[in-house]
Structure 1
């Protein structure tokens, strides 16, 4: 998969609770850096997504996916609650490696729309 396809698969797998597909999209050395925490390692991230995130009934709505080069992709979107309201807006910067997504750095705007 190319970078944009991997980014889209990342969100699809999280939203659908498809943790095996999520695991396959991530490199073993995966790191997720977000404003409130850093998760290091594919297994730690998948475990957090499965069991520890505050709300598993959300949906990522992508507004745009940008490609800087083959190894860098950014996605801009909104995280929606089950009622369709915006929880927050985000930009995720992806670093893609030969074995999958190596890093995601998340930037958020809690003001919503």
Structure 2
């Protein structure tokens, strides 16, 4: 599975858990960290946790290893590292504070098929 297909799989998993305002950023020309960032938010900690678990389950069903999940205990900003795709799942309040879309404003947005 290539990184774009992985991005779409993660986005579908987010959508299945009713994540809000999904935004995908193409990071290939800007960062060595990942090919894509996927950013979304949930309205409460329980939903943020459910979104991260949904991503983990979806990618593992495809035989893909989750490299790391950070922030799960607080569930205010959870980072799911899928190697070529990094998913940022925010609590709604934290998303507007950190504003990653503005921080990485030079990145092109990628169309999602969810």
Q: TM-score band (shorter)? A: 0.3 to 0.5
TM-score (norm: length of structure 1): 0.32
User: Taking structure 2 as the reference length, what is the TM-score of the superposition?
Assistant: 0.32
